[in-house]
Amino acid sequence: MTSEIRPFRKIYRKKTKEINVGKVNVGGNNPITVQTMTNTLTTDHKSTIEQINKVTEVGADIVRVSCPDENSTKSLKTIIRNVDVPIVADIHFHYKRAIEAAENGAHCLRINPGNIGEKKRMAEVISAAKNNNCSIRIGVNAGSLEKDILEKYREPCPEALVESALRNIKIIEDMDFSNFKISVKSSDVFLSIAAYRLLSDKTNYPLHLGITEAGSYLPGSIKSSIGFGSLLLDGIGDTVRVSLSDDPVEEIKVGNEILKSLNLRNRGVRIISCPSCARQAFQVIETVKILEEKLSHIKEPITLSIIGCVVNGPGEAKQTDIGITGGGKNNHMLYLNGIDTEKVTTNEMIDKIVSLVEEKVANLQNK
């Protein structure tokens, strides 16, 4: 028994151009990456570094920070020295901020070339990106389309977003630059899905998936899951950002769970658990919450099944690394690699599982 879950349907990803965001490669045959954005003031070095390190610990591959002014771009040097993840500088309108960010160590610039202004300014941004090995994300958003495109289509629609993206792609390609990825975001799930599908048919650059301004934790997670899931099942998408009105840590957790559910990423503990009912022989919901917290630091792929009774418990336990099936008289069956091994009581169950997971991780690291 291994931690690898073999899907009935294999997802065949579209092979896009490979680019680099610092030490992380995006596109091509590289794993789909998960990213987020800080919500601290970038000029507050301590808080920003602390937040970046927190999201890195739970699985962030790339982190974006806002650079609205010169003091923010100057702060990048200090921030980048103290974190271990590529940093994207979020730039809007002022081309000098993009140049400063590249020169101060940003690994990627999030810009909308159409908002930068005249071509001479864009050429200076591209030159700074080239000289500092800095990639670019073309960020098209339904809420900030170019005036002439909005007048042409009258409202944001897939064709409008893609026309904006293709226009900006040409601006950058004409300047002999190709180290970039693209996003066409909207808060409307259907609009986003249609735009990404249309863009994927028209370009081979890596795509950054996002349902922008998706809302608070629950509705935002659901909208993002529907949007990302639909696209990823079609093989579309090279990096993702879940946009929640919540702690950036939660964005990373949700993004990783979406990829794990599609067998596109294996990181950390995957818990299969029942919703609980009157048959449960222990408090399943509370047990799962405690285990998620105690095992949140685990990075190696491990599968657990936490099932409250014997109806589905043995079957699920045989498919996971470690399993618990609720039994009568406070005796629950423990499974290791699909084999029932011993009975444990409710009081010792959580500590036993945590110990076994950590032991398995140690064995994996020593191989």
DSSP assignment of 313-331 equals HHHHHTTSSEEEE--STT-
pLDDT, tens digit only, all 367 positions of the chain: 344 444 455 778 899 999 999 999 999 999 999 999 999 999 999 999 999 999 999 999 999 999 999 999 999 999 999 999 999 999 987 899 999 999 999 999 998 766 776 788 889 999 999 999 999 999 998 888 888 999 999 999 999 999 999 999 999 999 999 999 999 999 999 999 999 999 999 999 999 999 999 999 999 999 999 999 999 999 999 999 999 999 999 999 999 999 999 989 888 899 999 998 989 999 999 999 999 999 988 889 999 999 999 988 889 988 999 999 998 888 999 999 999 999 999 999 999 999 999 999 888 888 7
Beta bridge mates, 63: 36, 87
Cα dist from 205 to 16, 91, 249, whole Å: 6, 20, 28
Instruction: Kindly give the pairing relationship between strand 24-26 and strand 239-241.
Output: unpaired
> CA quadruple 56, 256, 265, 274: dihedral positive or negative?
positive
* pLDDT at residue number 1: 39
- Those residues whose C-beta lies under 8 Å from the C-beta of residue 325, and which sit 6 or more positions away, are 305, 307, 309, 310, 313, 314, 317, 332, 333, 335
Instruction: Tell me which residue of 147, 234, 158 sits closest to 189, measured CA to CA.
Output: 158
Beta bridge mates, 88: 64, 108
DSSP state of 290: H
* pLDDT at residue number 112: 77
Separation CA 40–CA 38 (nearest Å) = 6
Q: Are 109 and 136 in contact (CB under 8 A)?
A: yes
* pLDDT at residue number 3: 45
